[in-house]
Amino acid sequence: MLALIGERCAEGRVGAILPEEFLAQATPISLTRTAIRESVHVAAIIIAAMTTAVSAASALRTFGVNDDLRPWLITGCSVVAAVLVGGWHRVGRLLELLPGR
């Protein structure tokens, strides 16, 4: 199959790289399902960041962390949780939506 794809690509037949038999068995990608999956993933990222922020605020207050340092640590913990759940690329795209960027 790989040799056939390479030959067709070399011949310039990019529109017919895969054989018709292979394409007949393929199922098309559902755009709706992809959009729903991406929305759920973004919601999970936001929930993870918010839950971490609340937990970090409570924990830092208990540990007696200085009031000037607390917002920075809460923000850092939230970003780390978001990156762990969604990956850096997806979090970077979400951060672009914030005002002032």
Listed by start position, the domains of the chain span 29-95
pTM of the model: 0.66
Q: Which two tokens stand for residue 12?
A: 């310039």
What per-residue confidence (pLDDT) applies to 70? Answer: 94
Residue range 19-29, pLDDT digits in tens: 777 777 777 78
Q: Which parts of the chain register pLDDT below 70?
A: 14-15, 101
What per-residue confidence (pLDDT) applies to 101? Answer: 62
What per-residue confidence (pLDDT) applies to 8? Answer: 77
> Alpha-carbon distance 5 to 25, whole Å?
17
